[in-house]
Amino acid sequence: MSELKPKIKKPRGVARLIGGKCIACGARCQSSCPVNCIEMTDSGEPIIEEAKCIGCQKCVKICPAVAVEMFFTAEEMQILAELAVSSQPAEEEIDPEAAALAIKLSAYRGVWVFVEQTEGEPAKVSWELLGVGANLAEKLGVELCALIVGENVEHLCHEAFAHGATKAYLLDAPVYKHYRTEPYVEGCCHLIEKYKPEVILMGATGMGRDLAGAIATRVATGLTADCTGLAIDDKRNLMQTRPAFGGNIMATIMCDKYRPQMSTVRPNVMPMPERKNGAEGIIIRDPFTVSEESVLTKVIEIIRDSHSKGAVDITGAEFIISGGRGMMGPENFAILQELADELGGVVGASRSAVDAGWMPGDRQVGQTGKTVRPKIYIACGISGAIQHLVGMQDSDMVIAINRDSSAPIFEVATYGIVGDLFQVVPAITRKIREMKQKN
């Protein structure tokens, strides 16, 4: 019977500077170190903290002047020599870099959703994000938390619980009354550094885009904007899917070396979760505040956009009748308006129709327009380019009217009508009027 020999662990050694060889190349060794054990002197030479070194040899390999070497003690040298002679396989190695990364990432836990508000009024997208956030939190086995910043906004914590959060981090102080980048970034980064969330979701709104970019830069992590799909892989990475290369491909982006993982999502992309009245959760009231004197931006007056008075918000509509290049001219949109009036809906447009000046820009549906999720979306004379589809394909029902039976819009349509829209649309409107008269 052969005797089983215990495996000998291969010594890793520690990095050391060889005196007089450093050329002060610009701290390449320091930037390569995965465990931050290298400091630089004023003259640009490294000081290596041997106790922290994990022997990964990154600094040795990157040094252009061969000024860093691996150092082994006499006993370690002996073991290395024995291993070489016996050719005995050393104990299976753990990749030190991967181990250091795993330790760093494991400090972050929890899915956070930033609850956007203006003068205490929440943005609907925040609740949509709590819906998708709940799925992510369940997959990760962590809490779903709301991040709420403002003045007199504690009521939003309870709204967040009703939409699925189990905890709310609250910064409530006069300095947060109106959104300003500086205090919001300070406040959010304070909470992020203190509680270390694994995932942060924000609405891809004016406020969300501004805040998310500034926070990601400050906490040195990645940010994927305008995501249309979010999921978790088997290594706890957030798979962030969004259109790329002008919308011609859907790219899945991951931030596997930094935390938190940050995404923005446009309104109406994610479904609204069911409201649970009376749901409760824990409120963490953090006293952190920023002195008003230190904030350079002052809000003097809020002037509402006068153009928005009476403007049509297609994102909130339940019925949208959209026209494309097939409408042939601006005057023909009147037949879509008639149908919209019968249904209590609004008229939307493809980018071609907007670019042609047939409809205003705020009616554009798609990648560079609005994302909509109505009960019924009727696409008239729209071919169904991917950039249009990403803005409407999650509608509950899509009805496509197109004279080209091979138009891509039919691939996402619940019902397709192959025909001339100038005949089909007025016929539908007539039929609805008849049905209404009978009732």
Ligand X SMILES: Cc1cc2nc3c(=O)[nH]c(=O)nc-3n(C[C@H](O)[C@H](O)[C@H](O)COP(=O)(O)OP(=O)(O)OC[C@H]3O[C@@H](n4cnc5c(N)ncnc54)[C@H](O)[C@@H]3O)c2cc1C
| Closest approach of ligand X to the CB of residue 393, in Å | 12
Does residue 388 interact with ligand X by CB under 6 A?
A: yes
Residues with Cβ within 8 Å of residue 42, at least 6 apart in sequence? none
Stretch that binds ligand X, among 84-92, 113-121, 165-173, 366-374 (CB under 6 A): 366-374
| Closest approach of ligand X to the CB of residue 385, in Å | 4
Identify the residue among 369, 398, 400, 413 touching ligand X (CB under 6 A): 369
Identify the residue among 382, 399, 412, 428 touching ligand X (CB under 6 A): 382
Identify the residue among 171, 200, 219, 353 touching ligand X (CB under 6 A): 353
Integer Cα distance of 176 and 151 in angstroms: 6
Integer Cα distance of 140 and 124 in angstroms: 25
CB 242 within 8 A of CB 227: yes
| Closest approach of ligand X to the CB of residue 155, in Å | 36
Does residue 368 interact with ligand X by CB under 6 A?
A: yes
Site residues (CB under 6 A) for ligand X, limited to 215-254:
246-247
- Nearest CB to ligand X, comparing residues 60 and 327: 327
CB 32 within 8 A of CB 58: yes
| Closest approach of ligand X to the CB of residue 65, in Å | 48
Residues with Cβ within 8 Å of residue 77, at least 6 apart in sequence? none
Q: Cα angle at 155 between 153 and 156, to 5 degrees? A: 75
Identify the residue among 181, 286, 387, 432 touching ligand X (CB under 6 A): 387
Site residues (CB under 6 A) for ligand X, limited to 420-439:
420-422
| Closest approach of ligand X to the CB of residue 340, in Å | 17
Count the site residues for ligand X by CB under 6 A.
30
Q: What is the DSSP string of 174-233?
A: GGGSS--HHHHHHHHHHHHHHH--SEEEEESSHHHHHHHHHHHHHTT--EEEEESEEEE-
Does residue 68 interact with ligand X by CB under 6 A?
A: no
Tell me which long-range contacts 391-399 makes (C-beta under 8 A, separation of at least 24).
391/365, 391/366, 391/367, 392/320, 392/322, 392/365, 392/366, 394/268, 394/269, 394/271, 395/320
| Closest approach of ligand X to the CB of residue 379, in Å | 8
Stretch that binds ligand X, among 168-176, 192-200, 336-344, 350-358 (CB under 6 A): 350-358
8-state DSSP, 398: E
Q: To the nearest 5 percent, what fractions of the chain are helix, strand and coil? A: 35, 20, 45
| Closest approach of ligand X to the CB of residue 426, in Å | 12
Amino acid letter at 103?
I
Give one word for 166, left, alpha or beta, with left for phi > 0 and alpha for psi -120 to 50: alpha
| Closest approach of ligand X to the CB of residue 244, in Å | 10
Does residue 264 interact with ligand X by CB under 6 A?
A: no
Identify the residue among 205, 352, 395, 429 touching ligand X (CB under 6 A): 352
- Nearest CB to ligand X, comparing residues 215 and 354: 354
Site residues (CB under 6 A) for ligand X, limited to 278-297:
none
> How many angstroms separate the most distant Cα atoms in the chain?
99
Which residues are near ligand X by CB under 6 A?
246-247, 324-326, 350-353, 364-369, 381-383, 385, 387-388, 391, 401-404, 407, 420-422
